[in-house]
């Protein structure tokens, strides 16, 4: 396949300029698909391997090119440009500030749980990010259909703690910069819940989550989640648009496939993780990332230890904030974190039900190439076997209720 078939002319020009800066003018280039089936839904992921002919020591550089989808139908369903511009903004502007404040504070081992960023293209319809291919460094996906145990969940919870700490430190020490972040991250995926068919798909997933509950055996719980389902847009909009000063830059899209784990030698315990796909990122309560990830990715026993995970999160957050020169007791007392979970946890539970629905879909719909869904869109579909989905969703909703968190 020719280079022009992998990339548009503008994308190829941008990538060529990147190669001149990173590699040299004398290189070979090979393209191939960058994901396995079901790993990606909103974009084209291309692996680009280059060999610098002028080098004999480590001449190969491995890139991942993340390109916006060409499908006009998909763009009418999802605010594609907005989500790509958010991700480009994070990689090009926000993440370098995270690096800068750590350097200023003399952090010897800087925290950077995302791939190295090389270049982006902002042209409408041809958006592209050029990133490091971290799979070549030994990072791998976990099976999305198998819940993660406590060790994996704890590792990511601590990653989120440090990411959130960086937001809080910048808000504390560089408030004008933080205000700029807020201003430039307003056009996120959930900025308009009625965009295209977004509202239809969200309602369909929430109704399916309600079906996992028994209106008789789970009477009280059923009534509470039913209220949430019936008032979904109002509840989510109110919470997402809240002016709470405890908001941080949140990952939001906490699906299992958006993490790559590294294991040293043959160890079954992960030593590190990379966080992918920042397209849905927005300013939100730290509670949203916590509840979304743990309640969607964790197995039942791990979800039941949510309180322990919150403590791990908070201890890690406090330690890193102190390293960054901010006082955690002034920024986010533990009691305030609990209030955040009480109030904003429902946004995370909602996201968890959406993700679990995807985990229980054996073959995800091909949104990039199948345009037979112009009427009704193929993203709105019913599960052939609800057994596992019902069990996982019921476990999540029941424990959320047990914790006493608000459903509205």
pLDDT tens by residue, 231-254? 998 999 999 989 889 999 999 999
- Alpha carbon of 33 to those of 5, 44, 60, 99, 215: distances in Å? 12, 8, 18, 30, 46
Q: What is the mean pLDDT of residues 337-363?
A: 93
151, 270 contact by CB (below 8 A):
yes
Pairing of strands 259-263, 282-284: unpaired
Q: Give the C-alpha separation, 41 to 368, whole Å.
A: 7
Q: Residue 38 region, left (φ>0) first, then alpha (ψ -120 to 50), else beta? A: left
- Please report whether residue 35 resides in a domain: yes
Residue 357: is its pLDDT beyond 50?
yes
Place of tokens 């006082």: 327
- Please report whether residue 407 resides in a domain: no
Structural domain harbouring 340? 3-402
19, 27 contact by CB (below 8 A):
yes
Confidence of residue 356 (pLDDT cuts 50, 70, 90): very high
Cα torsion 91, 96, 101, 102: sign: positive
Confidence of residue 276 (pLDDT cuts 50, 70, 90): very high
- Please report whether residue 166 resides in a domain: yes
162, 112 contact by CB (below 8 A):
no
Around 401, how many Cα atoms within 13 Å sit in the side-chain half-sphere?
A: 16
- Please report whether residue 300 resides in a domain: yes
User: Which residue(s) pair with 266 in the sheet?
Assistant: none
- Please report whether residue 408 resides in a domain: no
Total number of domains in the chain: 1
Confidence of residue 202 (pLDDT cuts 50, 70, 90): confident
Q: For residue 192, what pLDDT is reported?
A: 67
User: Which residue(s) pair with 139 in the sheet?
Assistant: 262
For the segment 172-193, what is each residue's pLDDT rounded down to a tens digit? 999 999 999 999 998 887 876 6
Q: Which residue has the higher pLDDT, 199 or 329?
A: 329
Q: Give the C-alpha separation, 407 to 226, whole Å.
A: 9
Q: Could you tell me the end-to-end alpha-carbon distance of the chain, in angstroms, rounded to an integer?
A: 52
Place of tokens 């009691």: 335
- Of 311, 304, 312, 308, which is closest to residue 396 (Cα–Cα)? 304
Q: What is the mean pLDDT of residues 23-37?
A: 85
What is the pTM for the complete model shown? 0.93
Residue 365: is its pLDDT beyond 80?
no
- Of 315, 358, 271, which is closest to residue 162 (Cα–Cα)? 315
- Please report whether residue 172 resides in a domain: yes
Q: Give the C-alpha separation, 283 to 245, whole Å.
A: 10
DSSP 8-state class, residue 264: S
């Amino acid at each position: 396949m020719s280079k022009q078939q992998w990339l548009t002319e503008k994308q190829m020009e941008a990538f060529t300029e990147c190669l001149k800066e990173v590699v040299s003018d004398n290189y070979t280039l090979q393209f191939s698909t960058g994901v396995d089936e079901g790993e990606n839904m909103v974009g084209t992921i291309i692996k680009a391997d280059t060999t610098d002919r002028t080098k004999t020591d480590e001449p190969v550089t491995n890139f991942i090119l993340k390109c916006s989808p060409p499908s006009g139908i998909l763009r009418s369903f999802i605010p594609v440009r907005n989500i790509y511009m958010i991700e480009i903004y994070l990689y090009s502007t926000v993440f370098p500030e995270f690096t800068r404040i750590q350097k200023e504070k003399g952090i010897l081992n800087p925290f950077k749980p995302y791939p190295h960023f090389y270049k982006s293209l902002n042209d409408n319809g041809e958006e592209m990010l050029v990133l490091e291919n971290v799979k070549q460094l030994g990072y791998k996906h976990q099976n999305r259909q198998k819940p993660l145990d406590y060790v994996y969940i704890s590792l990511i919870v601590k990653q989120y703690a440090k990411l959130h700490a960086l937001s809080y430190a910048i808000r504390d020490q560089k408030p004008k910069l933080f205000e700029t972040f807020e201003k430039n991250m307003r056009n996120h995926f959930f900025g308009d819940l009625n965009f295209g068919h977004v509202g239809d798909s969200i309602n369909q997933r929430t109704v399916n989550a309600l079906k996992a509950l028994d209106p008789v055996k789970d009477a009280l719980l059923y009534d509470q989640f039913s209220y949430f389902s019936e008032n979904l847009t109002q509840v989510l909009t109110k919470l997402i648009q809240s002016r709470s000063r405890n908001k941080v830059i949140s990952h939001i899209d906490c699906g299992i496939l958006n993490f790559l784990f590294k294991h040293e030698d043959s160890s079954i315990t992960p030593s590190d993780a990379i966080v992918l796909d920042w397209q849905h990122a927005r300013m939100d309560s730290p509670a949203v990332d916590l509840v979304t990830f743990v309640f969607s990715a964790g197995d039942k026993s791990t979800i039941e230890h949510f309180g322990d995970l919150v403590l791990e999160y908070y201890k890690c957050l406090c330690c890193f904030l102190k390293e960054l020169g901010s006082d955690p007791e002034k920024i986010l007392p533990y009691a305030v974190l609990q209030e955040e979970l009480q109030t904003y946890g429902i946004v995370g539970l909602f996201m968890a039900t959406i993700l679990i629905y995807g985990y229980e879909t054996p073959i995800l719909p091909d949104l990039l190439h199948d345009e037979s869904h112009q009427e009704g869109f193929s993203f709105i579909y019913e599960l052939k076997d609800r057994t596992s989905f019902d069990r996982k969703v019921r476990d999540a909703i029941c424990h959320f209720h047990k914790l006493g968190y608000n459903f509205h």
